[in-house]
Amino acid sequence: MIAVALPGLVISTDQGQLTGAGLEGFYRAGRRLLSRCRLRVAGREPLCLQARTTGADRTVFVGALRTSSAPGPDPDVMVERTRHADGTERITLRNGTPRPLRLPVEVALGTDLADLGSITAGRAGPELPASVHASGLRWSCAAGTALVTAVPPPDDALASAGLLRWECAVPPGGSTSIELRVRPDGAGPVRPVGRTAADPLASAEATGDDPGAPALLRTSIDDLRALLLRDPVRPADVHLAAGVPWRCGPAPAEALAAARMTLPLGTRLAAGTLRVLARTQHRGPGPGRGMIPGPRRDTGPHLPPGCTGTEATLLFPVLLAEARRWGLGDRETQELLPAAEGCLGWLRAAAGDGTYVSDPHPGGPVRCETQAHAHRAALLGAELLDAFGRPGGEALRQWAQGLREAFRRDFWIHDPAGGRPAAARTTDGRLVPSLTAATAHLLDTGLLGGGVTAPGLLDPVQTARLARLLGNPVMDSGWGLRGLAVTEAGYTPFGHRAGAVRVQETAIAAAGLAAAGHENEASSLLRGVLAAAGAFGHRLPEMYAGEQRTDVSTPLPHPAACRPAATAAAAGVLLLTTLAGIHPDAPAGTVTLRPLRGAPLGEIGLTGLRVAGEPFSVRVSRLGMAMVEEAADGLQLRT
């Protein structure tokens, strides 16, 4: 059970006690400040009855124990432990008997002050010796210090055993509480961005026939706020960490993708993310000029690892162009335009005199999804350049047209069933025929002016064929889109990119299918993820097993998945707003609605979204008709 409000994080099991095993503990900025926190009341550990998450940043454990030999099965004392990611734990004892109780309480504490990377690699050291400090205990090593203080102060503190002790008087039917505060020595409490005025996300809400929709949107926004980070160079700029517990730091491609999917919640997150990444852009001479750096990523058994820097570089101008459509002001857009021009310059240099953008590593393949990212960046980037009177737009459009013509010819594998797009082309021109979820990016063409989507790399017939493939059970597990078709060599339901359902790609596929008019396939994917979200308490992990859904099954969690994860939480926003088909053009003062006519979730209302910098609310009826209920003054509706 994970509670997060970065840079704070606490990981527990559903038994409530922190034992020091595995990843358990309180963390601050990736360092474990406390690994062990075992509670005993009247010499016994409470029996944990319930463990629940009550918000992204807190978990609650309810236990019970008997303190007397009186007959009957009823517990005498209820114990509630509320554990916060900010480094506090409140222990409340409730007396359920008609007599006053005097209860000895002890908490055994310990830590190794290890960093998260060492812990996950199995290299955490032994517990450190404690010393008594003020109203608690202190630990210290070369890596730092940690301090646990208690309110009220303990009656006794034993450094050698790491123990704090109290004698608590609890009146009949009453309660008493102890609060533990875990901090680096000299540091104050965690102030998460999502709970300050710097929060960039609108507090949108969903209502309607499907009870899962409101819970998913609420939880997704809560998780996104918990993952917000301040840029150390300019703290006013915030962006998203990739996910917890494994990836608490910035990840350019994921941060950009998540910011793009959350544009319906406002443009502030997009602007902050773009400013942060613009400061990382390569500006010196050489083939990397204009690139946003990023690590390599596994892409499954059929292809070598890919470069997320390529994806981030191509996504940067797309996010800027679409953020402007949603309401990012001209001044902010112009400030970021030089960085976007650098990314587009890298694109043209990477393509060179050829047609395709190859893997940046020598001998790497020409990937299907990279061409989709590059084509979208060229078209949206060209429109962005034109809007501000910058040169280069027409050359980008001409290159994109050549890419479309070549891709439809070179990347299509013909077969009696109608064919399919190849996953990649090798340097000698051979096609990699694997059917993967990466083909969903071919449907994500991007938003141009007037609510129009950009043309895609596939023609209408090829798009329809891809829609049928993605809607087939070999790809649609019933819980979402598999990373690799079950018919492909190397498929495994837990494969990171070889069969597991990745929520981000499922949401992109659903949105792209809806925009292309393939509503049945889009609706199936959307309903599948909504059903999976219910099984995960509406906190979607970044991926889960691609086992086929049955009447009695539930989705299986992937042991290495981040949860919460920025792209999964943002995908929840994209999936629900896809139902209304919102296509804004803030510079033109218009918004176009293209809802899913089949109304796969029945009636749904979305309130508190942001278009053109103002609140925007829309309702989709059970007949699939959309109606704007709130919008900025002067914003005109187009159909």
Mean pLDDT score, 100-110: 96
Q: What gap in Å lies between CA 514 and CA 580, rounded to an integer?
A: 10
Cβ-in-10-Å burial (0-12, 13-18, 19+) of 284 comes to exposed
Give the model's pLDDT for residue 70. Answer: 67
Asked if the model's pLDDT at residue 189 lies above 80, the reply is no
Residue length, the chain?
639
Mean pLDDT score, 26-52: 95
Q: Number of C-alpha atoms within 13 angstroms, CB side, residue 411?
A: 31
φ/ψ bin of 396: left (φ > 0), alpha (ψ from -120 to 50), beta (otherwise): alpha
Give the model's pLDDT for residue 67. Answer: 83
Mean pLDDT score, 520-549: 96
Task: Give percent above pLDDT 70 in the chain.
Answer: 99
Residues 87 and 189 sit within 8 Å (Cβ to Cβ): yes
Q: Calculate the average pLDDT of the chain.
A: 94
CA distances to 312, 386, 442, 551 from 454, in Å: 19, 15, 11, 39
Q: What gap in Å lies between CA 241 and CA 243, rounded to an integer?
A: 6
Query: DSSP class of residue 210?
Result: -
Pairing of strands 636-638, 590-593: parallel
Q: What gap in Å lies between CA 413 and CA 189, rounded to an integer?
A: 58
In the block, tokens 């001998």 appear at 363
Given pLDDT bands bounded at 50, 70 and 90, which one contains residue 306?
A: confident
Asked if the model's pLDDT at residue 191 lies above 80, the reply is no
| pLDDT tens profile 215-243 | 999 999 999 999 999 998 899 999 999 99
- What b-and-e string marks burial along 477-512, b requiring 16 or more CB atoms within 10 Å of the CB? bbbbbbbbbbebeebebbbbbbbbbbbbbbbbbbbb
Mean pLDDT score, 26-39: 95
Give the model's pLDDT for residue 284. Answer: 86
Query: DSSP class of residue 484?
Result: B
Give the model's pLDDT for residue 197. Answer: 74
In the block, tokens 């019970």 appear at 64
φ, ψ of residue 263 to 5 degrees: the values are -55, -30
Q: What gap in Å lies between CA 515 and CA 323, rounded to an integer?
A: 18
Give the model's pLDDT for residue 411. Answer: 95
Token pair for residue 612?
């053109």
Given pLDDT bands bounded at 50, 70 and 90, which one contains residue 501?
A: very high
CA distances to 466, 505, 610 from 301, in Å: 22, 18, 41
Asked if the model's pLDDT at residue 107 lies above 70, the reply is yes
Mean pLDDT score, 116-130: 89
List, in sequence order, every residue forming a beta bridge with 605; answer none if it has no partner. 207, 619
The angle that helices 519-535 and 212-226 make with each other, rounded to 10 degrees, is 70
Query: DSSP class of residue 588?
Result: G
Query: DSSP class of residue 606?
Result: E
Q: What is the CA radius of gyration of the chain?
A: 27
Give the model's pLDDT for residue 310. Answer: 94
| pLDDT tens profile 363-419 | 789 999 999 999 999 999 999 999 999 999 999 999 999 999 999 999 999 999 899
| Least-confidence region, from 108-112, 119-123, 280-284, 291-295 | 119-123
Give the model's pLDDT for residue 52. Answer: 94
pTM value is 0.93
Asked if the model's pLDDT at residue 472 lies above 70, the reply is yes
Asked if the model's pLDDT at residue 143 lies above 90, the reply is no
Mean pLDDT score, 528-551: 95
Given pLDDT bands bounded at 50, 70 and 90, which one contains residue 159?
A: very high
Angle 606-611-614 (CA atoms, 0-180°, nearest 5)? Answer: 95
